[in-house]
């Protein structure tokens, strides 16, 4: 049996996602849509997809689609996930799931009422490398974990008229990448408590362009996560324990990592052509087994991530939270 995907929009990420479906064991892309029929037909031709629609609503009415993948600008995630559930489709919704906790909770409740699957697309937690790191941490190979350093950037080359620079569209580095930080940590560690603080520099349009977050997990692991857009940084996560450390480049799509324990260095690799395949295989398995809430990319991970990101956004938008020290006044 095949799980038939409908793709909402011709977003930049779509060709990579479609490759993941093609590489998966039970997935097939049935249709794609766009606000413009011409764009939909063009991408359908390029990616070898049989059906193309000139509106999102038309795709949602296609009875031969089991699940819709929604990679629209962030502010449209809630609206189209809700429309998809109401049209009796399962939903795979890109990160950040929604811009507010209220919206996220409503989507999970609606999915339950409609007996439909809904999951935030978070490929990082399905990667074999991520799960190897989790296993090594749990086996205490690094000793007690003390410190984590994370860097993520997307060079993008966005201009100010792009939705990624619009506050109303949920643009900016915070909504763009904070879910990676929070959900990666929640997956790797048994997080009982999480302290989370942040600072940022905003673009003239008001969106956070470069952010730094400091966090404490379970009152004993300290960490920092830097996320930025329109700058190419070294992207990595480094996890330090009392016996050694793990370094993983591009941690959200990694196939390789370096582990150094008591001076001995080892490279561990899991090559694969398209990193989306693990996530898609998981979604397919859930649907084939009539399991409508992922046991891995859980509702709890998504809700906490949305909550933290919403709080950070409130902090960044509220100048009364600013503790700037002016040197001349010291």
- Residue number, 240 or 316, with CB nearest to ligand NAP: 316
128: helix, strand or coil: helix
Task: Determine how many CB atoms are found less than 10 A away from the CB of residue 204.
Answer: 8
Which residue of 6, 10, 116, 213 would you call a contact of ligand NAP, by CB under 6 A? 10
> With contact defined as beta carbons under 8 Å apart, do 93 and 297 qualify?
no
Residue 95 lies near ligand NAP (rule: CB under 6 A): yes
- Residue number, 48 or 322, with CB nearest to ligand NAP: 48
Residue 243 lies near ligand NAP (rule: CB under 6 A): no
CB of residue 276 to ligand NAP, shortest distance in Å: 8
Residue 121 lies near ligand NAP (rule: CB under 6 A): yes
- Residue number, 183 or 217, with CB nearest to ligand NAP: 183
Which residue of 123, 132, 187, 282 would you call a contact of ligand NAP, by CB under 6 A? 123
Which residue of 19, 24, 51, 72 would you call a contact of ligand NAP, by CB under 6 A? 72
Pairing mode, strands 208-217 and 194-202:
antiparallel
Site for ligand NAP in 152-171 (CB under 6 A): 163
Residue 225 lies near ligand NAP (rule: CB under 6 A): no
Residue 94 lies near ligand NAP (rule: CB under 6 A): yes
CB of residue 294 to ligand NAP, shortest distance in Å: 15
Residue 187 lies near ligand NAP (rule: CB under 6 A): no
- Looking at residue 31, the DSSP 8-state letter turns out to be E
The answer for residues whose C-beta is within 8 angstroms of residue 92's C-beta and 6 or more apart is 67, 68, 69, 70, 118, 119, 121, 283
Rounded distance, CA 330 to CA 326, Å? 7
Which residue of 19, 74, 181, 313 would you call a contact of ligand NAP, by CB under 6 A? 74
Residue 9 lies near ligand NAP (rule: CB under 6 A): yes
Location of structure tokens 């629609």: 53
Give the number of residues written for the chain.
330
Q: Label residues 63-76 b or e (16+ Cβ within 10 Å = b).
A: eebbbbbbbbbbbb
> With contact defined as beta carbons under 8 Å apart, do 211 and 200 qualify?
yes
- Looking at residue 248, the DSSP 8-state letter turns out to be E
Residue 181 lies near ligand NAP (rule: CB under 6 A): no
Residue 28 lies near ligand NAP (rule: CB under 6 A): no
User: Residue 128 has which token pair?
Assistant: 């074999």
Minimal CA–CA distance to 276: which of 119, 124, 73? 124
Which residue of 35, 45, 232, 243 would you call a contact of ligand NAP, by CB under 6 A? 35
* Chain residues that interact with ligand NAP, rule: CB under 6 A: 9-13, 34-36, 39, 71-74, 76, 94-95, 121, 123, 163, 176
């Amino acid at each position: 049996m095949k799980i038939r995907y409908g793709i909402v929009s011709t977003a930049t990420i779509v060709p990579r996602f479609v490759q993941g479906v093609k590489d998966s064991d039970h997935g097939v892309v049935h249709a794609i849509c766009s606000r413009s029929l011409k764009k939909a037909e063009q991408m359908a031709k390029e990616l070898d997809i049989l059906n193309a629609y000139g509106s999102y609503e038309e795709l949602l009415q296609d009875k031969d689609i089991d699940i819709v993948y929604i990679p629209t600008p962030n502010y449209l995630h809630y609206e189209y996930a809700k429309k998809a559930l109401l049209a009796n489709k399962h939903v795979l919704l890109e990160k950040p799931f929604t811009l507010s906790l209220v919206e996220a909770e409503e989507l999970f409740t609606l999915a339950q009422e409609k007996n439909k699957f809904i999951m935030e697309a978070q490929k990082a937690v399905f990667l074999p490398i991520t799960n190897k790191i989790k296993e090594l941490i749990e086996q205490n190979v690094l000793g007690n974990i003390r410190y984590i350093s994370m860097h993520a950037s997307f060079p993008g080359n966005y201009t100010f008229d792009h939705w990624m620079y619009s506050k109303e569209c949920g643009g900016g580095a915070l909504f763009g990448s904070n879910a990676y930080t929070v959900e990666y940590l929640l997956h790797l560690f048994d997080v009982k408590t999480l302290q989370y603080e942040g600072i940022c520099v905003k673009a003239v349009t008001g969106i956070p362009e470069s952010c730094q977050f400091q966090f404490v997990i379970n009152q004993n692991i300290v960490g920092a996560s830097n996320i930025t857009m329109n700058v190419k940084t070294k992207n990595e996560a480094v996890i330090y324990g009392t016996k050694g450390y793990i370094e993983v480049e591009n941690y959200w799509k990694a196939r390789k990592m370096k582990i150094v324990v008591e001076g001995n260095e080892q490279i561990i690799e899991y090559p694969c052509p398209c990193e989306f395949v693990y996530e898609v295989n998981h979604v397919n398995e859930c649907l084939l087994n009539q399991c409508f809430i992922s046991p891995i990319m859980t509702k709890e991970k998504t809700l906490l991530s949305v909550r933290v990101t919403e709080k950070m956004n409130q902090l960044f938008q509220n100048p009364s939270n600013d503790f700037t020290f002016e040197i001349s006044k010291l």
